[in-house]
Chain A
Amino acid sequence: MNKPVPIEINHIQAEEQIRITWNDGHIWEYPQTYLRGYCPCAQCQGHGASDEKKFTPVKEAKLEEIRAIGNYAIEFRWADGHNTGIYTFDYLRSLCQCLQCEPSHAGST
């Protein structure tokens, strides 16, 4: 049970980003279009056997609501009504691109 868990999810409306702070110190601001593009629901990811995460580009991803699901996941309700993606903490963490997760990003902005 010692998997990293988020302690704060901050919807920074002006920047259209969602900052997730984890209990082990990781912090990253997820762009809304990035999160929406990686929506984990079956409609977006398909039913294929591939483990690879599929990215579906979207022009716009307005966020209406963020809701905790049980002890383990987050639901994002997008303005177009899409809300079938249940983003488990593990999945959100796999999308984290902070400097600890992606050291190659150091130096670039």
Chain B
Amino acid sequence: MSRAGRPVWRLPSVWIAMGILAVVAFVTVFGSALAPQNPLTVNANALFQGPSAHHLLGTDYLGRDVLSRLMAGTRLSVLTALEAVGIGLILGTIPGVATVFLGRWFDFLANRFTDALMTLPYIFFAVAVTAALGNGLVQAMVPVGILLAPFFFRITRAATLEHARTQYVEAAELIGASKRHIIRVHVVRKVLPTIAVTTASMTAAALLAVSFLTFLGIGVQPPAPTWGGVLSSDLAYLAQDPWAPFIPGALIAITVGALNALADAFRDRSGSGRLAPVTALTPPVKTHSTLEPADDERRSQSVA
């Protein structure tokens, strides 16, 4: 490998995370088609059943097949979470980077606006927005995304501030680099890992937000399945079926964990340095004192 260092895609944690996310992506696309049973079929004779050959993950309080509901619910869960995170990402990160470079007044106003947004409880905000715009998935996720934006904004701004004050940014200014160049090459690249980690955790928060809103009848309407919805309903019947919440819970945790692992690897790779390359351990490189020939060249000349 001519380029020293270990590429991010060679890390085992990245492979595992990518594998998990690939499965989630596959189920997102084909989950409804591949579900072994109809996720909406109620069976009054099979309430709260444990895992069996017929119901691999058991049944819920209406006798519906949990595996089928989780598979069919993957698309709604993932897409709604991604929609909210996408909105928050765009509304939060772009101003987060821009405020650092656009002067104190813009920074002040953006911060006060963010403070105001952070005081809003997202449940009530979502209820108000859906009341105004009509109940639906998009309408419910827009307020969630708007309320995720301050988190992206603050984290991005803090990371940008940190990197914008580094000496290598000053060095870039001293070679005449424009603000745009500095942001693109020295700031955004360094801030991206932080954003990636935040996106992973915000995706988890969005998955949970979908479940809360589903529980309230906002956004995803019952009986349409979502991971959060399954978790919420299982939690309501903890006394009858104590192990049931672990299945959707584990599904959410594994997915979020995979996102976090991927983000961590990305952050580590883009951080203070890459893993020590084998070539760096060998001592072949030395500087020669001036612009004259190197020592070994001089030595060979004197021998001649």
A and B form one complex: no
